């Protein structure tokens, strides 16, 4: 593993994309490492929350690796997009919350990576965009679809057609990012959010991720029915007994994830 760094502390796994000389661009090897970290984290009981960020102070991820993109043909291009989408899907489907700490450029595959995460906290120097059109292609890691679902068809069409960057405040305004934080405070803020999540009820967290994401693709009636069943499952957990008891006994809940 050479393009990513990992660090586990207080049940928070931080994955740092580590190609600062290439603004953390996602080549195939980096994508493979990223996916294997996220998949392995699912069954690691020492990990409750995942943070994904970029190395250095300039970029989160400046996109798919354009050097590799340049060598693709129709077949290898599809393979690259398919694998990239599998990475984004692994992140989006993670049972443990994934936070993107967007510490600079989040362009192309970087914007797609951020969008696959469950929360996006941006530094005030962050820039988001889908500039693929300028390279004669379109997003391949889900950008044409996740952006549309996050910000609506009008803004998604504009960002994908024009390929221009937007700043972090605009990203929050349109619903692409959750918060903007001064760059110097980004890491502490994201860790504080991650700590809150790490102390929360794991099964209920995974049910929120699942019902929000899956339900978004269903009819409202089917989504509400799905929520009923997920609610029922939560009601059968020890965490629900602990959470309700702790409230009634006026103490802090200690969730076990059972």
Which of 63, 84, 97, 202 is the binder for ligand COA (CB under 6 A)? 63
Burial of 208 (0-12, 13-18, 19+ CB in 10 A): middle
In the set 32, 33, 68, 112, the catalytic residue is 112
Which of 3, 60, 105, 255 is the binder for ligand COA (CB under 6 A)? 105
Q: Judge contact between 105 and 123, C-beta under 8 A.
A: no
Angle, vertex CA 205, rays to CA 202 and CA 210, nearest 5:
125
CA atoms of 65 and 215, how far apart (whole Å): 33
Which of 54, 97, 131, 202 is the binder for ligand COA (CB under 6 A)? 131
Would you give the binding string for ligand COA spanning residues 65-104, x where CB under 6 A is met?
A: xxx-x-----------------------------------
Residue 217 is a catalytic residue? no
Residue 242 is a catalytic residue? no
CA atoms of 229 and 235, how far apart (whole Å): 10
Residue 140 C-beta: closest distance to ligand COA, Å: 8
Interface of this chain with ligand COA, residues 28 to 57, rule: CB under 6 A: none
Cβ closer to ligand COA: 32 or 210?
32
What's the sign of the alpha-carbon dihedral 83, 85, 91, 93? negative
CA atoms of 64 and 110, how far apart (whole Å): 7
Total chain residues near ligand COA (CB under 6 A): 17
Catalytic annotation, residues: 112, 132
């Amino acid at each position: 593993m050479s393009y990513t760094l990992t660090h586990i502390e207080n049940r928070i796994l931080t994955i740092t994309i580590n190609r600062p000389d290439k603004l953390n661009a996602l080549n195939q090897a980096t994508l493979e490492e990223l996916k294997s970290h996220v998949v392995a984290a699912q069954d690691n009981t020492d990990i409750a929350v995942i943070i994904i960020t970029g190395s250095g102070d300039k970029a989160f991820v400046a996109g798919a690796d354009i050097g590799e993109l340049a060598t693709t043909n129709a077949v290898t291009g599809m393979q690259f997009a398919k694998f990239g989408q599998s990475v984004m899907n692994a992140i989006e489907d993670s049972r443990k919350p994934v936070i993107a700490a967007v510490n600079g450029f989040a362009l192309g595959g970087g914007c797609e990576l951020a969008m696959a995460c469950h929360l996006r906290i941006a530094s005030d120097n962050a820039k988001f965009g889908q500039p693929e059109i300028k390279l004669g292609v379109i997003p391949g890691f889900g950008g044409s679809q996740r952006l549309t679902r996050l910000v609506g068809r009008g803004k998604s069409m504009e960002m994908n057609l024009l390929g221009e960057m937007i700043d972090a405040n605009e990203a929050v305004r349109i619903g692409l990012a959750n918060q903007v934080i001064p760059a110097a405070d980004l890491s502490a803020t994201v860790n504080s959010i991650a700590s809150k999540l790490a102390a929360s009820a794991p099964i209920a967290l995974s049910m929120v991720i699942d019902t929000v994401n899956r339900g978004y693709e269903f009819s409202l009636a089917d989504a509400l029915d799905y929520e009923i069943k997920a609610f029922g499952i939560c009601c059968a957990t020890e965490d629900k007994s602990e959470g309700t008891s702790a409230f009634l006994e006026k103490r802090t809940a200690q969730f076990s994830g059972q």
